Each structure stands twice: as structure tokens, then as C-alpha cells.
Structure 1
Amino acid sequence: MDMKLELVMVPVTDVDRAKEFYERVGFVVDHDQTVSDDVRFVQLTPPGSACSIAIGRGLTRMEPGSLDNLQMVVADADATHADLVARGIEVSDVDELAWGRFVFFADPDGNGWSLQQLPDWSAGASGVE
């Protein structure tokens, strides 16, 4: 039986501010639907990903900024770092660890992200080479 993670709720305080931030990071807006005064659903997908995030109103009981270390895999940490800096995103320096090279950033609410370049010994494990 296959199980595919396709959507992760990211709790934010200001939907428009978060939407603009994630668009600057490079996420594509798939949907932006206001269902009612209490519910707005915005789905964004990172380039190349089969999994999306959702931000909005009335979607989750999690506190804004409570997600820590959502992780995506990238082909090249240095190139990703340079691209995000050019887009005006505040990111960490590239962190060299035995299990990969990482770049970290947070959205305006403090939800934390890590971008991992896989080490050579695991290249291809996730389709990134």
C-alpha cells in the first residue's frame, strides 16, 4: 500500500505576508480560495516537489511559528543559498555536516526550514543527483 505525503499545514499569523514570502522563496501558488470569513486556503508547492504546503485561516490549531525544521532536499546547497540571498531571503551560511550540507531559513512567523544537499554516498536516494 502506497502512502504519499502531499500537504503540510504551516501555521501563520498573516496569510498575505506569508504568501508573499513563500512566493519569493520560489514556491508556486496552486490555490488561493476564501471559503468564508473564517476559512482561507492557500496551497503553495516548492519547485520540483510532489508535496505542497497550505497556509491560511481556519486550517489548523497549531500556533504560528510552531513548525521547526521542515526539510527539503536540494541538488546544490551553494547555488540554493546564492539564489535565496538574491531573492532577499535571510538564510544561514552553508552548514557542512557528515550527513549533508544544509542551508536554514525561517518564514516571517518563525516556522523553520532546512534545505539539505545529500552527501555523495546517498546521492540519488531521493531522486536528486
Structure 2
Amino acid sequence: MDFKFEVAVIPVSDVDRAIHFYKTLGWRFDAEFANDEGYRLTQLTPPGSPASIIFGSGVTNAAPGSAEGLHLIVDDIVAAREDLIGRGVEVSEIFHDKTGVFHHAGTEGRVDGPASDRASYGSFASFSDPDGNGWVLQEVTTRLPGRV
């Protein structure tokens, strides 16, 4: 039985502002549903991703901007960072974690620059959407065994 991760719900305060932001990133606008009772659901998908994000009004009780650690996997951290900056997004400098494994929460344990030898899974950059939902770019050039 396959269990495929399909969607992450992120909390936003202004649906239209969030739509604009994610479309500016080049994300595909998939769908929008609304009713007369104030419920509104919007779905967008990052380029090349099988998973999407959903946000809207009445979609989640989480506080706007409270999502963190949302990862976007890229094969070239430098090019991905430059692409986002070119789209007007404030992106952190590239970093790796002092443990050489996964990054710590927030900015703790960050070491400037990519992982040594640009080791797969080791280099990161971060940015936030207008509400403060936190995204992390992670460079993956060689997948762990069994991963596609």
C-alpha cells in the first residue's frame, strides 16, 4: 500500500497576498474553492513537486505564520537561491549545520557556506512567506537508498 504525501496546509492571514507571493515564486495555481459562508481554499504547487500547499479562510485553526521547516528540495542550492532573490524574495545566505547532519531549529547551529564538498542533504538556505511561514531550501544531489 502506497501512502503518498499530497498536501501541506499552511496558515495565512491574507489569502490574496499569499496567492500573489506563491505565484511570484513560479508556483502553479491549481484550484480555488469558496462558498458564501466565508470558506475559501486555495491550492498551489511548486515547480517539479508532486506535493502542494493549501491555504485559505476556514481551512486551519493554526495561527498565520506558524508553519516552519517546510522543505523545498533543490539540486543546486546556489541557483535556487539566486532564482528566488531574482523574484524579490529575501533569502538567507547558504548555510550548513554544525552537526553536519540536519539543521537545528531557527538559526541555532548555522555555519556559513555550503556543506563541505557540497555533500547531498547538507546545504540549506531559508526564507519566509509574507506571514512568516518558514521555508527551507535543501540541496539534494544524490538520494538516500530507496528514495526517488
Bigger Cα displacement from structure 2, 33-42 vs 64-73: 33-42
Residue deviations 1:88-108, cap 9 Å, x none?
001001113434111100001
Q: Secondary structure at the match of 2:123?
A: strand
Q: Which residue of 2 aligns with 1:4?
A: 4
Matched, 1:114 2:143: no
- Indicate the structure (1 or 2) with the bigger Cα radius of gyration: 2
Compute the TM-score of the two structures, normalised by the length of structure 2. 0.79
Q: Which residue of 2 aligns with 1:15?
A: 15
The percent identity for this pair of structures is: 44
Q: Which residue of 1 aligns with 2:114?
A: none
The total of aligned residue pairs comes to 124
**Pairs within 5 Å for 1:90-105:** 90-97=90-97, 98-99=100-101, 100-105=122-127
**Pairs within 5 Å for 1:1-129:** 1-97=1-97, 98-99=100-101, 100-118=122-140, 123-125=142-144, 126-127=147-148
User: Are 1:29 and 1:44, in contact at CA under 8 Å, matched by a contact in 2?
Assistant: yes
Compute the TM-score of the two structures, normalised by the length of structure 1. 0.90
Q: State the shift of 1:35 in Å.
A: 2.5
Q: State the shift of 1:19 in Å.
A: 0.7
CA RMSD across the alignment: 1.4
Q: Gapped runs of 5+ residues in structure 1? A: none
Structure 1 segments (4+ residues) deviating >2 Å = 96-99, 124-127
Q: Hey, what's the Cα distance between the residues in 2 that align with 1:30 and 1:36?
A: 21
| Residue type at the aligned position of 1:113 | W
